[in-house]
A = this chain, B = another copy of it.
Amino acid sequence: MIGIGVIGCGYWGPNLIRNFNSQPQAKLIAISDLDEKRLNQVGLLYPDTRKTANYEDLVNDPAIDAVVVATPMSTHFKLGMAALEAGKHVFIEKPMATNSDDCRTLIAAAAARNLKLMVGHTFVYSPPVRMIKSLLDDGELGDIYYVNIARVNLGIFQKDANVIWDLAPHDVAMLNFLFGAEPVAVSATGHCYVQKELGIEDVAFVTLEYPGGRLVHIHVSWLDPKKIRTCTFVGSSKMLVYDDVSPSEKIRVYDKGVDVQPHYEGFGEFQLQYRSGDVFLPHVDTYEPLKAEAAHFLDMIQDKVVCQSDGTHGLKVVEVLEAACLSLKDDGRRIALELIG
């Protein structure tokens, strides 16, 4: 049994607590939150679990093997380091930290002590993303030309992070996982409308270039009348639309495309053929991604799996966000990532 302690009982923490508590391989030893009222309320469901307002008590509890950090982004580094220094494996919510240097320090600290470090990029463990991964790996779509993503809705405006840091981590983590690769260049433009005086962008367009010419265009916004979560994958053989808002039809595979005749000798003879065939909506499992994520962390600790969102994966996401914000401040200049990563 792996002893688990969770720091943070806010919006997301209770979901992690519930899912780690239900794992047969784990035992929920302690939970912590600065807000004692919140801590006790969440704690009601776990009468045998220790509650403490002091995260140091939790981090130093010898019954705890692994610490889960589900606090605001700005405290990820401090709490993650404290847990690693106390010899615990660490699971940190996304984004891993507020900058890539902190990520590197966390990775080095874990490596030095031979401890595991995982980042909570939930989408990597969600059923539709797993299904897309398997379709891509099977070559079902052919070569991927480009991906177009909209992740927009009304609010919630953050005061300490712009819309890229708030919404884009999901997309970058998902794409790095799907492509098994990281972007070679990033550019971004963004605009401050509602929080103009704070200089916080609420609308942004981010472009990622992956190896092999695969392009990703991401529109993130807190200023849209409808909640939209669509990713359109355009491949040389087929096209796929992933609509995460749809309750029952999240993935559509279109047998559509344009075929270029392989040989032609001049401008006039260049021939295209349009294909417009069946549409297929595969059944997508409906398990809770967090449950798979929690199990994955426990498996990782026991060396049963290679982690799909480890510290390095988390770092790569933060590097892209950093570069995107650099580009944002420089009129959308293309930032090559080799120079940074």
Contacts and interface: CB of A to CB of B under 8 A. Distances in A.
A35 interface: no
A284 to B, nearest CB: 9
A267 B198 contact: yes
Contacts of A213: 191
Interface in A40-92: 44-45, 47
B270 A276 contact: no
A274 B154 contact: yes
Contacts of A270: 159, 195, 198
A147 to B, nearest CB: 11
B280 A280 contact: yes
Contact of A148 (B219, B254, B278): B219
Contacts of A159: 267, 270
A146 interface: yes
A249 B249 CA distance: 14
Give the interface SS of chain A, mostly helix, strand, loop or mixed: strand
Interface stretch (A5-13, A96-104, A224-232): A224-232
Interface in A302-330: none
A258 B193 CA distance: 10
Interface residues of A, number: 58
A166 to B, nearest CB: 14
Indicate the member of A157, A224, A236, A331 with the most B CB atoms within 10 Å: A224
Contacts of A130: none
Given A193-B145, A280-B280, A280-B281, A225 B249 contact: no
Contacts of A276: 154, 283
A223 B147 CA distance: 11
A49 to B, nearest CB: 12
A199 B234 CA distance: 19
A31 interface: no
Nearest to A227: B248
Contacts of A219: 148, 217
Interface string A325-341: 00000011010000000
A274 B155 CA distance: 8
A122 interface: no
Contact of A278 (B224, B254, B281): B281
A267 B158 CA distance: 12
A282 interface: yes
Interface in A216-263: 217, 219, 221-226, 232, 234, 236, 239, 241, 249, 252, 254-258, 260
Contacts of A162: none
A181 interface: no
Contacts of A32: none
B226 A146 contact: no
6 contacts: A146-B203, A146-B223, A191-B213, A224-B232, A276-B283, A281-B281
